[in-house]
Structure 1
């Protein structure tokens, strides 16, 4: 299927020539149809022959010569664990200087444990606004532990000024954090590498401001960004333009379309997308229509990946602070959940199911290869993702008609699909736990609510501050963790 006229927005160089942003593409290629040629290999060389051994053969998507995505030989990897794939071939950036291999990106050896972020980066994340950029378990500060005086504390740089430039609450929510750790990228990309290993085209659906697109661009030759909101698409253009300006040796190129996730197949050619992602937005969709449309766009063995996190974090390792924070969020009320889930009843109900409401048609996907993953949620993912105040609305459900009851979202998990649980204690779930100061809770509220609300909640914030000062080893920091659900599925080869 060709690109739908009027839906894809391309940068126009002049009246007669359309070019993709950051890519020289002729007008005849603007439909993302297969365009094989004798040009030199892609700037993205994904895997070596040695790495390919033991992985299934994949079908190339239609943006590059066949040599850009190496085919594989041999038997399928026997391990059930999708984390076993390795790669040793470098990603080629110009002359190759300073480039990293896919394996090094996936293993995190090119970045610090915090994803290569500087303290300045942390100061722009509301829940990390007061964090000290250190490991979670630093050497004890004996002077602070045994001193009779209160340790000196400094206030992190404010992010409220920049936050006020974003008018849409949900867009602000998606941009505000938590920042996706390197472990989630490795989880998704290693799963994709095992089942497809084609790295031509990724589609970021419901992208909002495009915060995940730069990550996709590290792995894929081309990234298509779509969002149903014009404001989100404009924000993604600005963010990705800035990202491209700071990354001269670009690994990915971007195109854009004003499209709903349920219309994914209308903005790309059929069977060309290698990886389709929905981050923090799947619950806003009609899941049946969305899954079938995405499936039509996916190449054989292509990957569908979804990620959703809980809108508020839990405190771990300090029961007194945990209870104080729980009182704060109870007093705050519906706001964080309204921003994350929307006020529409069906969106909230779907969000409360984690990602279990997403169906997986057996005629389109390999159910036995599906992974439904929870991180830091244990077996309480439904309880964690359901808004607390929704529990009091069960009586309203009893007043529904039979048709309304039938329309309620329910779990669509099939017995053939595999559930996996991880925590921050392991490598796969690492990175969703952070150390923050008490001020970060104030910043989080101020990001999404009024000054009057912050004033109203001041006694609860003061209580948290005092609890941290009394119970934290250094009187400054406390550990929080986010609950996350991940959905990974592989399209059948012949569909």
Structure 2
């Protein structure tokens, strides 16, 4: 594949979009960074297969290429795709202009997860990080199966808001802030997103006819699946009977210590944006509880792995 940028004729802003209030500068500063353990999980799963190939990967819903650069360090070529207008150009600027990676390493596509121009049975690894909630998951998973070579790897990941640990009063207020956010986050698209997120991707089915060796890893989910729940819009549990479930607690790569100012700036990265003044009382109460001190945060993350059947 040569380095190209392809777009659909109609500009789109789907889900996590600038129109909804996305600010990529703040996103980079206040969202978790994909650390070594994240990619270790991905590359270890992929590498344990006989005859494994590291030729072509497809980073779907790539945003501005947060995960693409590390994927490019292991694969010969990376397709970087996102449906939102302008995002692939942002990714190109980051990966090629700023990071200095050869442009020939990438193909940039403005396309959604449910339908792609990528050739059938041509991809070794698909990553869909922090984007599945904005998709028709049944259609997307079917499309992933079409693109992957037999034995290829699918990885779908999602991290939710961090939990405050060791301070129950602060966690209660933090929870109330996200409850207020979710009341403001309504509409068909967001309702579907919450049904996918609130049980840590357990609402995403991986049919046995297409997938094997399915492994669901839950990191820092100290409250079980409830760690991912923000409101009562929870989808049906569609975990297959033969799927492996793994719980990993206390991963330091998904832990941090932060103060009230950081929490406010992190919260502002969630879309649709809920203005700080609309929940001023909750912020004031949380600030009083913290008393100028930092709190311990642990971010729950779900990582779903699957292998394409022959």
Q: TM-score range by the shorter chain?
A: 0.7 to 0.9
Which structure's relative contact order is higher, taking Cα pairs within 8 Å and 6+ residues apart? 2
Distance 1:294 1:450 in 2: 28
Match of 1:224 among 79, 98, 104: 79
Alignment of 1:62-73 (within 5 A): none
2:162 is matched with which residue: 313, 327, 330?
313
CA distance in 2, matches of 1:258, 1:451: 25
Rate the CA distance shift 1:288–1:448 in 2: closer, same or farther, 3 A: closer
Inter-CA distance 263–166: structure 2 relative to 1 (3 Å threshold): closer
Alignment of 1:362 with 2:208, yes or no, is yes
Q: 1:351 aligns with which of 166, 190, 197?
A: 197
CA shift, 1:349, in A, is 1.7
- In 1, the alpha carbon distance for the partners of 2:200 and 2:86 equals 27
Structure with the bigger percentage of strand: 2
1:420-475, Cα deviation, whole Å (9 max, x unpaired): 11112xxxx33111110121122234445899932343443333233223xxxxx6
Q: 2:239 aligns with which of 404, 410, 413?
A: 413
* Partner SS for 1:457: helix
1: CA distance, partners of 2:141 / 2:181: 35
Q: Provide the secondary structure at the position in 2 that maps to 1:230.
A: coil
TM-score, normalised to structure 2's length?
0.82
Distance across 1 between alignment mates of 2:300 and 2:32: 11
Contact 2:22–2:269 (8 Å) recurs in 1: no
Tell me the equivalent position of 2:55. Answer: 200
Q: Measure how far apart 1:320 and its partner are.
A: 3.1
Match among 256, 277, 293 for residue 476 of structure 1: 293
How far residue 319 of structure 1 moved from its aligned partner, in angstroms, is 2.2
Number of the residue aligned with 1:302: 152
Measured at CA, do residues 174 and 363 of structure 1 come closer, stay the same or move farther in structure 2, by a change above 3 Å? farther
1:249-293 deviation per Cα after TM superposition (whole angstroms, max 9, x unaligned): x698111112221124x32x3222111010111122222222222
Counterpart for residue 444 of structure 1: 266
Task: Decide whether the 8 Å contact of 1:195 with 1:490 is kept in 2.
Answer: no
Q: Show the counterpart of 1:239.
A: 94
TM-score between both structures, scaled by the size of structure 1:
0.54
The reply to whether residue 374 of structure 1 matches residue 218 of structure 2 is: yes
> Between Structure 1 and Structure 2, whose CA radius of gyration is higher?
1
Choose from 68, 84, 99 the match for 1:213: 68
CA RMSD between the two structures: 3.2
Aligned match of 1:273 in 119, 123, 128?
Answer: 123
The offset of 1:483, in angstroms, is 1.3
2: CA distance between counterparts of 1:453 and 1:297?
41
**Structure 1 residue 234 displacement after superposition:** 2.5
Please list, as runs of the form range in 1=range in 2, the aligned pairs for 1:78-93 lying within 5 A after superposition: none
Length, aligned pairs only: 297
Alignment of 1:89-488 (within 5 A): 167-169=19-21, 172=24, 175=28, 176-195=30-49, 197-245=52-100, 253-264=105-116, 266-267=117-118, 269-310=119-160, 312-335=161-184, 343-366=189-212, 369-378=213-222, 380-381=224-225, 383-388=226-231, 390=233, 410-424=236-250, 429-447=251-269, 453-469=275-291, 476-488=293-305
Whether the aligned pair in 2 keeps the contact of 1:171 and 1:232 (CA below 8 Å) is: no
Cα pair distance change 1:210/1:289, threshold 3 Å: same
The CA distance in 1 between the partners of 2:134 and 2:42, in whole Å, is: 22
Render the CA deviation track for 1:188-217: whole Å, top value 9, x for unaligned. Answer: 111111126321111011112221111111
